[in-house]
Amino acid sequence: METVERWTTRSDAWAPEDDKKLADIVLRHIREGSTQLSAFVEAASELGRTPAACGYRWNGIIRKNYEEAIQEAKRMKKERLAQTRGRRGRRRQVGHQWNIDAVIQSLRAWEEVFQKMEQENAELRRTVTHLEDKVRSLEQENRQLREGGALSQAEQLRHDSREFLALVDRARKLFQEIGEKQPPLGVKAQE
């Protein structure tokens, strides 16, 4: 018997006001479409207990006393959801119209971007064509200069070799003139 008295006189025992507050919070959460767990977290915060303790108290003791109130809260939740769905349907229609307008605006903007890109693309193609023509022209000019340079080098070589041969010829003639007057090198003159 001592044990029973000890438990009923504990300072952390559930008071009827605590039970009522817990029930009000849970029923409100049911009406609003929230979860019981959210209700237990809120009740725990207000009652200074853990969410697990609130859940245990609700499911083990209090729930039985509030069956009709629970059914009424569920009915109110369904009505609220039905009203919300009706409003959402109207919002969807308005939103749908807005979405179509937004899509049209977006498509027009993309069309402008596309046209600008086409113009830029055409300009770039013209630039590429012009640069390709210029490259071909410069390659042809380069080829002509190389071929022309090769011919002039050949001509320069012929000219230089003619001059060299003429110089050698002149030197031979000079040696011949001198040779008649003087003996060749390394040969002693006759006395």
What does the pLDDT profile of the chain (191 residues) look like in tens digits? 444 444 555 777 899 999 999 999 999 988 888 888 889 999 999 999 999 999 999 999 898 999 998 898 888 888 888 887 766 555 555 555 557 877 888 888 889 889 999 999 999 999 999 999 999 998 988 888 777 766 677 778 888 899 989 888 888 887 777 766 655 555 565 55
Q: In terms of domains, do 115 and 142 share one?
A: yes
Q: Determine the pLDDT at residue 1.
A: 45
Q: In terms of domains, do 53 and 75 share one?
A: yes
Pick the closest to residue 148 from 160, 140, 158, 137 (CA basis).
Answer: 140
Q: In terms of domains, do 46 and 76 share one?
A: yes
Residue 69: other Cβ atoms inside 10 A = 16
Which residue in this structure is represented by tokens 């003139």?
Answer: 177
Q: What is residue 61's DSSP assignment? A: I
Q: In terms of domains, do 30 and 84 share one?
A: yes
Residue 30: other Cβ atoms inside 10 A = 21
Pick the closest to residue 43 from 61, 29, 33, 31 (CA basis).
Answer: 29
Q: Is 73 among the domain residues? A: yes
Q: Is 38 among the domain residues? A: yes
Q: In terms of domains, do 115 and 67 share one?
A: no
Q: What's the domain range around 140?
A: 110-146
Q: Determine the pLDDT at residue 16.
A: 92
Q: Is 114 among the domain residues? A: yes
Q: Is 102 among the domain residues? A: no
Q: Is 6 among the domain residues? A: no
CA dist 63 and 45 (Å) reads: 20
Phi, psi torsion values for 83, nearest 5 degrees: -65, -40
Q: What is residue 35's DSSP assignment? A: -
| pTM of full prediction above 0.85 | no
Q: Is 5 among the domain residues? A: no
Q: In terms of domains, do 70 and 122 share one?
A: no
Q: Is 105 among the domain residues? A: no
CA dist 104 and 94 (Å) reads: 15
Residue 25: other Cβ atoms inside 10 A = 23
Q: Is 1 among the domain residues? A: no
- Number of domains the chain is built from: 3
